[in-house]
Amino acid sequence: MVERIAVWATQLFPVWSLIVGGLALYEPAIFLWYGKEAIGFGLGVIMLGMGMTLETKDFKHVWREPHIVGLGVFSQFLIMPAWGAFLAWVMGLPTEMAVGLILVSSCPGGTASNVVVFLAKANVALSVSLTLVSTILAILLTPWLTTLYAGHYVPVDGWGLLKSILLIVLLPLILGLTWKRLFKNSACQVAKISPFLSVLFILLIVGFVLSAKRALILENWFILFFAVFFLHVGGFLLGFIFGKMFRRNSVDCRTFGIEVGMQNSGLGMALASKHFAQLPMVPAPCALSAVIHCLIGSFMATWWNRKDKIIFDLIEKR
């Protein structure tokens, strides 16, 4: 029963994101209690849960078809950071907003993408592999890409970003994997509700950041919204096109589009809050990203399903 409720709540993540975003901007006091210091803790819990949910089969796709996984991860770190930097330049974003947009675009794929891939009837095994590999590679690539693209806006402490990612991504992930190996039964029980806990902590982090930055967000809402919106729409479309360029089938192309278009916004918020504290607007694009990419992803999943149904009905009639 608990597991069913957890699955149901997880699948409604886009709805919860929209509700939390609205509440945070309307009544900030609801989420301000969470606190900046708890952002890293929340993300650590998410990564711990991810470690406990991983199975050997999750790695089989990497070993069996490494070129496809490599292609997907390459598209993730090639397209989004460059696209984010281009948008920041062409839209003439203020420095803080530009850094925030580049930071979130340099993060790996988020676990929410696995849910959207499932809803879109795309390649779930490939999605899990891409999220896993991109998360591990982000330990080095996120600090490097952020420094590369945002370094001319403000000084970027690449080494500090690296240490933070080691603490809030790699360490909890290893602990989760170790826990599952040593205490398999308890890990399996926790793994049943791990996706729900991930959703809960992401919502708390999003709610807190939006609440804390409410005045700045409302003051700059127009350009902020469209910058983040174009970032993710472009990511979805460019990821899909990238797959087509390499002659992947429609299912894999959808997976590439979703993985490229959806970022680990929670990691972006954690890094922004810790390493760009003197620039209060930097976490805002990351928080808004968590809401917008889920909504776009859900829309794309619905559209793809409807398109498949229309094609299937036409085939049946023939």
192: burial class by Cβ within 10 Å (0-12, 13-18, 19+)? Answer: middle
SS3 278: coil
Instruction: Kindly report, residue by residue over 228-269, the tens digit of the pLDDT.
Output: 999 999 999 999 999 888 888 888 888 899 889 988 888 888
Residue 261 is part of which domain span? 2-317
What Cα–Cα distance (Å) separates residue 298 from each residue in 109, 138, 231?
16, 25, 16
CA 171 vs. chain centroid, Å, equals: 19
pTM comes to: 0.82
Contact 233, 80 (CB under 8 A): no
Instruction: Kindly report, residue by residue over 121-177, the tens digit of the pLDDT.
Output: 777 778 878 888 888 888 889 999 999 999 888 877 778 888 887 887 778 888 888
What's the pLDDT at 112?
73
Please give the tally of structural domains in the chain.
Answer: 1
CATH number at residue 72: 1.20.1530.20
What's the pLDDT at 90?
95
